[in-house]
Amino acid sequence: MNITSIPGGVCAARGFKANGIRCGIKASSKKRDLALIVSEKRCAAAAVYTANLVKSAPIKVTKAHLADGHAQAVICNSGNANTCNANGVEIAEGMSRLVEQYTGIPASDVIVGSTGVIGQQMSLEPMERGMEELAAGLGDHSDFAEDAIMTTDTVPKEAAVEFEVGGVKCRLGGIAKGSGMIHPNMATMLVWVTSDAAITPEMLQRAVSEDVKTSFNMVSVDGDTSTNDTFAVMANGMAGNPVIDREGPDFDAFCAALHAVTVKLCRGIAKDGEGATKLLTCLLTGAADEATAKTVAKAVICSSLTKAAMFGADANWGRVLCAIGYSGATVDVEKVDVSFRSAAGRVDVCRGGAGIPFSEEEAKKILLEDEIDILVDLNAGAASAEAWGCDLTYDYVKINGDYRT
């Protein structure tokens, strides 16, 4: 399949505009805090949400709005998670109505997202004040929208691709925020993807539900599954391709394009994990089945001790073995091989579950890079998996020791 990276994030696909402004939700901050993404045409829309029993008010409202499989806009604030609030649903509905008032898109076609502190009362007032400016400035501003949904994120996470469906060029692009409280289960923090492909709501939901299993569900920063995770895709059909309404090559092309974007966003989220200095990728091969591969890969990138060792560029592979052992998967630990790899080279450290001699100096050089692959071969089958995480650093503690002030 021919998939080409292009610039533009959520504005790469035809008919989508975005904007982000500072309306003052977090009084003490000078950063943008309110984002809007709109489509010229009504879109097929699908989403997956956090598996946390505590769910944000925006998720409750978005679920209701997406019940008919369609949407046309996303409104999203940072600075307050709108979760565990007495007036949460009222605020989220109010945000939808503001979109209707200033863009004409029905409130029931609006996806709502919020990110920030849990359990603080929220007011609609700053958004009421900022909405005119936000709507008036809509344009090719994926970057402003991305900026407005970031919290402790330090770099923007966006991606877009061009691909073909039935000989017609389609585009698909997304933005993501997420840096802490990242251990998604069925979805991740906030990910907004747009496409101009024509696809039915049913096939879009299937693509989204399938995609998360090998994208956002394989990312972890800190093991904490957020209350607000939402991954939503809107496809407006403006590319003019034959509508994707069944399985087959066209659906596969769409799924591949979606995965190209989501994997890039996943790596971006992991690398920008709170306080992180390194992206860790566990490449798990030789598993008996896919479930084992995923469980083991995720256990490795979730291990606090492995994460801290990677921060220190310490080839302490025993911690990788330890994580494999407690992962819960059935593994013959006496068959396991482990290597570390980066732009600086590759070092084999464990064969058949036991240590082998290696140069500590060489290993250090490899682990001082900022993108590390942890290669694990279970030597028990043909299934594989990939999981993304980051190192555990002083700054993670600093950021989270006093997040609210």
Catalytically active residues, by annotation: 188
392 binds its own copies (CB under 8 A): yes
Q: Is 311 in the site for its own copies (CB under 8 A)?
A: yes
402 binds its own copies (CB under 8 A): yes
Q: By CB under 8 A, how many residues form the interface with its own copies?
A: 65
d(CA 16, CA 73): 9
Taking the complex as a whole, how short is the minimal distance between the CB of residue 275 and its own copies, in angstroms?
Answer: 9
335-340's contacts with Cβ under 8 Å and 24+ in sequence apart are 335/378, 335/379, 335/380, 336/376, 336/377, 336/378, 336/379, 337/375, 337/376, 337/377, 337/379, 338/374, 338/375, 338/376, 338/377, 339/374, 339/375, 340/315, 340/366, 340/367, 340/372, 340/373, 340/374, 340/375
Taking the least distance from each CB to its own copies, the nearer of 146 and 222 is: 222
- φ/ψ of 389, rounded to 5, equals -150, -165
Q: Does 333 bind its own copies (CB under 8 A)?
A: yes
Q: Which of 27, 28, 30, 326 binds its own copies (CB under 8 A)?
A: 326
Does position 312 interact with its own copies (CB under 8 A)? The reply is yes
- Looking at residue 383, its amino acid is A
Give ∠ CA 278-282-284 in degrees, rounded to 5. Answer: 170
Would you count residue 384 as binding its own copies (CB under 8 A)?
no
Question: Which one of the spans 104-112, 280-288, 296-304, 377-385 is the region binding its own copies (CB under 8 A)?
Answer: 296-304
Signed CA dihedral, 90, 93, 99, 101: sign only: negative
The residue (of 50 and 281) whose beta carbon lies closer to its own copies is: 50
Tell whether residue 224 is a contact of its own copies (CB under 8 A): yes
Contact (Cβ atoms closer than 8 angstroms) between residue 162 and residue 3: yes
The yes or no reply on residue 277 touching its own copies (CB under 8 A) is no
- Which residues partner with 16 through β-bridges? 39
Strands of 275-336, DSSP E: 279-287
- Positions in 100-119 near its own copies (CB under 8 A): 117-119
Q: Is 314 in the site for its own copies (CB under 8 A)?
A: yes
3 state SS of 28: coil
223 lies in the site for its own copies, by CB under 8 A = yes
| Interaction of residue 331 with its own copies, rule CB under 8 A | yes
Residues at the contact surface with its own copies, assessed by CB under 8 A = 50-55, 81, 83-86, 117-121, 180-181, 183, 185, 222-227, 302-305, 308-309, 311-312, 314, 316-319, 321-326, 330-331, 333, 350, 353-355, 392-394, 396-405
